[in-house]
């Protein structure tokens, strides 16, 4: 009987498993979202659209934040506006490793954080409206120029 009591007390007194040994219970993002896919397809449809500083529609030309605002409104019904920095402030911060199509990627291209924004389309690529080359295009996030200037990623979707 004494052995049984010692065993029972030892079992009750054992420490709970350490959190790092428990399975990850954080909510993992789905690999894609319907809204994100719509945003991606819409962004791809704007490839070669002309660049215009302050541009907010494809007919007149687009700058980076105008392009993102236009795409999100038309493709997903999400109204966002303002500069790239304004758009970054309103989105939910995510890790670069958690990016999925339709999320937004931000860069420091004018010695100012969040001075440029693009739409992530998968496989380390994004669509954006850079002032250089004067056209909406796809670039690689791991290209030397963008890799050095990457600041953050944001999501507007679950």
149 touches 143 (CB < 8 A):
no
Catalytic residues: 64, 116, 128
What are the structure tokens assigned to 53, written together?
């500083």
127 touches 138 (CB < 8 A):
yes
Beta bridge partners of 117: 106
Break the chain down into helix, strand, coil percent, rounded to 5.
35, 20, 40
42 touches 73 (CB < 8 A):
no
End-to-end Cα distance, the chain:
56
């Amino acid at each position: 009987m004494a052995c049984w009591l010692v065993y029972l007390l030892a079992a009750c007194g054992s420490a709970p498993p350490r959190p790092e040994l428990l399975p990850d219970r954080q909510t993992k993002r789905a690999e894609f979202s319907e809204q994100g896919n719509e945003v991606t397809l819409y962004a791809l449809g704007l490839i070669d659209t002309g660049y215009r500083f302050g541009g907010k529609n494809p007919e007149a030309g687009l700058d980076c934040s105008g392009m993102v605002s236009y795409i999100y409104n038309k493709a997903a019904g999400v109204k966002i506006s303002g500069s790239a920095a304004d758009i970054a402030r309103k989105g939910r911060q995510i890790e670069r490793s958690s990016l999925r199509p339709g999320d937004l990627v931000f860069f420091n291209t004018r010695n100012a954080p969040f001075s440029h924004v693009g739409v992530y389309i998968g496989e380390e690529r994004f669509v954006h409206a850079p002032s250089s080359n004067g056209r909406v295009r796809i670039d690689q996030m791991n290209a030397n120029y963008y890799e050095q200037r990457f600041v953050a990623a944001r999501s507007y979707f679950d």
